[in-house]
Structure 1
Amino acid sequence: MLDTKTSGPDFGDAPGQGRLLHAPADHPRVPPAKVGVLLSNLGTPDNYDYWSMRRYLNEFLSDRRVIDYSPWLWQPLLQLIILTKRPFTSGKNYKSIWNHEANESPLMTITKAQTAKIKAEMQKRYGDDVIVDFCMRYGNPSTKSKVRSLIDQGCQKILFFPLYPQYAGATSATANDELFRVLMAEKWQPPVRTVPAYFDQPEYIEALAQSVERAYAKLEKKPDILVCSYHGVPRRYLMEGDPYHCQCQKTTRLLKERLGWDDTRIKTTFQSKFGPEEWLQPYTVEEVARLAKDGKKNIAVIAPAFSADCIETLEEINEEIHESFSHAGGEDFTYIPCLNDDDAHIAALSKVIQDNLAGWLP
């Protein structure tokens, strides 16, 4: 149980009702003390129409962690040119993968499923002492709304978990930034912990390996090579100290070792290049075409940097990157889905949470 309670000798009401025994009658009631676990993912537009897409893209592309050019140069370009045209293109792409039944993006659907399963795991281990919820860095539900909700439910400590296996300034750091900004507005700040990258955790590598083995077992002909496609960032970020590139390379190496493969059967690439400057290479869209021309006619692609399938995997990999491979003479293209709410993935994430709750809960 938690070491801070709202029942017992210092409280006048029945357990859980939260009236301080020595406080005046009009003192605000204090809910039972809990620990909050807040999962954070990138985000999603509310819909794929022009204005929903524009609001989402404006928030995303205005983040200095994502685009660090001077606002004096970047914002006129963003507001007058990019946000005039790109919402139409992005909206069309989102429409092609949209969960029309639930009227939400796949990322939202999957994140909800992940949260529900992790909540069940935490309930088994900690009972009612832990409250699990999720937020999005961009769009809804916002970090602000979910932090406030956890505090209102009595969370006196919060574990914040950016759902990115590898750390990057444009993902993990900006999620943490938003958490800290939200806490600046709180009258009483609960103690918080941020979960570090888990790119080399054995349970995560095992979940990745199992997903590859399941996918390969279903294929009549085994792929010539497995392409591990990670989301890209400008190469400049690596030179400025961002560890993302190194952590991606290590993830691929650990996956290769777990599968018992040699270097010829697996390769690291980077996708989603944006803007004129050089990004981490090789670029996935170009590399799959090169592989096809070099005789690798049967490939599989996995996206280890994404905890859930989203626009970059369902649309970019399955359509744009697949098309590049086919046009270069490739024949068989297999996309291995993200770990999503797979049981091995949930077990890995739950283990990370439990490790980071050490000292707060037994």
Structure 2
Amino acid sequence: MQNANATRPEHGPADHPKVARGKTGVLLANLGTPDSYTYWPMRRYLNQFLSDKRVIDYPAWKWQPILQAIILTKRPFSSGEAYKSIWNHDIDESPLLTITKAQTARIEETLAEAFGSDVMVDFCMRYGNPSTESKVREMVAAGCERILFFPLYPQYGGATTATANDEFFRALMKEKWQPAARTVAAYYDNPGYIEALAQSIETAYGAMEEKPEKLVVSYHGMPIRYLEEGDPYHCHCMKNTRLLKERLGWDDTQLVTTFQSQFGPEEWLQPYTVEEVARLAREEGKTRIAVIAPAFSADCIETLEEINEEIKESFEEAGGEDFTYIPCLNDDDAHIVALSDIIKDNLKGWIG
């Protein structure tokens, strides 16, 4: 079947056969989502996630027996309950999937205005569906001769950005005719991204009668060992907070950087969010705080359940009274503009 993009070359003779016109693909990537919060879908998802050597780098002979025999017999139940509490039941999917679809649609509209039909925009997940491999295959089949791969993680991390890139390159390995490929670098210091974050805080604070006494800037955690082995994630997080503070015109007393989602026996980046919010209430007498999570481009289990339920509970049990979670940037206008501008910049030399 002839490719729908096939046209006669501009300088070819009248009888020249039509040839496929090369398209450029933009593939957005996020962490992933289970297909359901029930046991077996949760187990499949967790098995894929926790078997990733970028996430848990223990030797397989040591880690897999623990994972298969202990963790995956219990954790699908507890994680499933957490997912069930935030699930988008109306359309039977996780909030992360719903939001990523919305982001993709809006970015697609923005790029179509700039480049017409020359750019194909889609999204994939590192774990779960839609898989990276399936979306790379679709783009190649659609005539994409170039693919820009965009991991939606503002700060670089081996367990996030790197493993997403790994999966993208593994998918390319299966293509007979590989498209040209680029990956988007971390964008924690991008002015548009910082502006979008700042605006979200200003909007949230502007709607409050009483302003929070402290803003907790909570990032996903990481074992300290990874930092010592050369992962720049911690440095990116700290600079992200500094740039945000400078844009807001605040001083160090008005916000604190913390880390959440610890897993396993190792020491992780500190202070831990769940402990810091309790300390703010118990030791500093803070009764009003707000929490924002710049490491996540879309609200997910770590924000909607962990922050807005577990971490909130820790603050309130320690004496806190007013807890505000400031949502991720999601498909906010300023966020879509920032992401689209980053994409346009990375497409230079290919298109536009």
TM-score range, shorter chain: over 0.9
Query: Post-superposition shift, 1:114?
Result: 0.0
Q: Output the amino acid matched with 2:152.
A: L
TM-score by structure 2 length?
0.96
Compared with structure 1, are the counterparts of its residues 184 and 292 closer, same or farther at alpha carbon in structure 2 (3 Å cutoff)?
Answer: same
Q: 1:71 aligns with which of 37, 60, 66?
A: 60
CA distance in structure 1 between the partners assigned to 2:19 and 2:184 by the alignment: 27
Compared with structure 1, are the counterparts of its residues 30 and 90 closer, same or farther at alpha carbon in structure 2 (3 Å cutoff)?
Answer: farther
Task: Specify the alignment match of 1:269 in structure 2.
Answer: 258
Task: Specify the alignment match of 1:195 in structure 2.
Answer: 184
CA distance in structure 1 between the partners assigned to 2:250 and 2:220 by the alignment: 23
1:33 aligns with 2:34: no
The correspondence of residues 1-362 of structure 1 with structure 2, limited to 5 A, is 6-8=7-9, 21=17, 31-293=20-282, 294-362=284-352
Q: Output the amino acid matched with 1:8.
A: P
* Residues 45, 128 of structure 2: 8 Å contact kept: yes
CA distance in structure 2 between the partners assigned to 1:228 and 1:13 by the alignment: 62
Query: Post-superposition shift, 1:32?
Result: 2.3
CA distance in structure 1 between the partners assigned to 2:135 and 2:307 by the alignment: 31
Q: Output the amino acid matched with 1:297.
A: T
Deviations 1:3-46 (A, max 9, x none): x98531576899xxxxx74xxxxxxx853210000000000000
Q: Output the amino acid matched with 2:348.
A: A
* Residues 37, 161 of structure 1: 8 Å contact kept: yes
CA distance in structure 2 between the partners assigned to 1:107 and 1:218 by the alignment: 25
* Residues 7, 32 of structure 1: 8 Å contact kept: no
Specify the SS of the correspondent of 1:352: helix
Compared with structure 1, are the counterparts of its residues 120 and 171 closer, same or farther at alpha carbon in structure 2 (3 Å cutoff)?
Answer: same
CA RMSD of aligned residues (A): 1.5
Aligned length: 347
Compared with structure 1, are the counterparts of its residues 137 and 10 closer, same or farther at alpha carbon in structure 2 (3 Å cutoff)?
Answer: farther
Q: Unpaired segments of 5 or more residues in structure 2? A: none
Deviations 1:114-173 (A, max 9, x none): 000000000000001000000000000000000000011110000000000000000000
Q: Output the amino acid matched with 2:255.
A: I
Specify the SS of the correspondent of 2:325: strand
Runs of 4+ residues over 4 Å off in structure 1: 9-14
